[in-house]
Structure 1
Amino acid sequence: MINMAHQVDAKERFYRNFRIQQSNIQEQITHLPSIAPVAGERQDATEHILTNISRLTNDVRDATHFLPAYDHRVYVNAVTALRKELDETTAKLAPKSRFQFRPRPARTLSHDDAPDSRRLVNPGATRDGSPTPKSSKSTNGKPPISPPLSPGERGRPRSPRAIKIENQTEAIITLPADHSRTSSAGQLTGLSNCVVNLAAPAVEASRASPFASLALRDISNSVIIAGHVDGPVHITGLRRCKVVVTARQVRIHDCTEVDFYLWVTSEPIIEGCKNVRFAPLPELWGVEKVENKWEEVKDFLWLKQGEQSPNWGVLPEGDRVNKEVWKGVLGEGEEKEDVKEVLGRFGIA
């Protein structure tokens, strides 16, 4: 009798766990088309979905000792349907073959054409997807500037530019005042002890468009002000950071000791995280009056019904960064500061 009750309980737990994972994977597949293909971001998301499907396949296989044969076949078919749905989605997103090869015109760089580069350190904004230099070393004490436009490009409407910032250490990084990011994607990778401000500069705030998507990966001891993202934000492998973002979706994986300040219209999702805390977007940023679900966090690796996941919590008001510190990093305070001093104000050593 006890064994039968235990078996029923195991079947029920497996059913709930399966449905949660199945729903998670279906949601990821549904939103895959909204992820920009630049810098391998969509490929990374696809591989993450494949990993989740593989994990679910193993769970079904391991459950054969307590699942009836009919139930087991139902679960196997459900996993097969997920893989088929992913294959169909990626097939639709595959680039169409084009039998046209045009030489890329050479660009003439002129120092006089460079945008305002104050406090700008190798932002990695490119027009053609080419990689940017990885070094953040300055010359004569001045930060390097981003590639200027050629004379032939001046006066022409600017096409969307992807923002790619990678492999930076102890840098303060901002966008140039003339940067247009309409429908562009952002990617920040391999940063350490940095302060990054991707919020629209004040002179452009009234006409700046949101990022289409954003990916943050492998960042430590840094402050990231991501600004407004119209689509999904994928955050992976952050350690001891402060992150501010307004977005439609936020997906967080394998992060430790990170404080998130969010305005998000869907439930934030965490997976494989420890000691992450959440707070609402600071009042300094104005957003549309829509529901903010910053504290409705879902931990996909915490399956105990009715119990709070120990992996995340609400950031106490007394521990939140105050308004004056946010103003300073947004440029309303001192213009030229040492990055270590700025990080110190945020409590990041």
Structure 2
Amino acid sequence: MWSVMLNKNSVKKNLFRFIKLGVAFELGALAATYGFWYKVNRNIDFRFYLHENYKFVLDAYYKIGETIDPEYKGKELDYDYWVKTGKITHSSAKKYMLRAMDKLCLSNYNNHDPIDRIIKRQLQRKKTEEKNNLDFSGSEEIEKFIEAFNQKQKEIEKEFELAETLDHEMLSDHFSNLNELIQSLQKFYSNATIFLRIYDKKVCQATLQNLQIKLKELENRLLPRKKFGFKSRINKLEKDDGKKNGTSIKNGVKSKISLISHNDKLIEEEICGFRHKNDEILFLTEEEIEKKDVLLENLKNCTVKLYGNPTTIHMTNLINCQIYSGPVTTSVFVEKVKNSSLHLACQQLRIHETTDTDFHIHVTSKAIIEDSQNVRFGVYNFNYEGLENHYKISGLSKEVNNWNKVDDFNWLAADKPSPNWTILTD
């Protein structure tokens, strides 16, 4: 009996001994595994292996995710975005993958939150891209964009050829349509800059610039400015303000002032305006500018007021001038204007080679600037008797005013505003 009891005790002791040895072995193995991983993870050769083989390690990571959750879509959503678009380099993709593996290993395998967050993040990114019509990625999408861009360019080129065959009366509307097509193509390109390669961007920018140049050359050739001559019929009305020789002081500077109504009118019946004037106040009445083109050229330190409804206005070489105009039926063209203030209402406004100038405008389409710097835009504020009637005659809608929407043909980046124009604060 005693022998049986001794045998049972020895069995228990041996059993406890084996359990202790097993636990010790497990702890030792765990410590050894951690030590091995700690050393390997900091080993240069191992890190080099990860760098060179990150795609295969990445595939292993996705297999782990699929094992944990059969519906895991990480590979489908991430792999194409990382590898095909080239938006993440080998090194950054490796770091991103290692961080994701760490989160996966440290989380509870029964809890799929880390995977869900990855999927939600990718789906949200996809929705955002679709919303902005930027669902392009990879070489196939770039090729689709280039094909569409070239197709739109060919359509514009055909419109250029059509302009050669149109009657003179139809050219103005045709050129306006061409300008809108080029603006649309520019917007199409701007929306795609986020995924285009540097080479593709340079080609598209060069194409857009060539189209603009061709449009300007074609317009100058087929729809040139009317030639004109001046005849001088000076009728100065000196303002008697108690000073001799009609001089007055404005802004602390003495300047001669001439009040002119019928002076320096152009011989051409459909064109009127002023040119080669310094330090004068000039104005034209409703009867003088109705259904006519107005030309203002080579003016310095002048104030010009146009009380009425001209068809178009052309301004060239103005320095330190104040220009006020009633509603213009079609377009206003501004070129080489410096240190001036312009108050205009029109359908289209095109500004070239202009600097340090304020525009107070009412325009029904976007204003266009080119080769211009430090131009500022505010709301049209010229008021005079008969303005409401002139709005009706011009056909301008008072409800549509794009005074703060400006296209800069020298600034094609979609993600940053042009530094060449700003909004007036006062």
Higher-helix-fraction structure = 2
TM-score, reference length from structure 2: 0.42
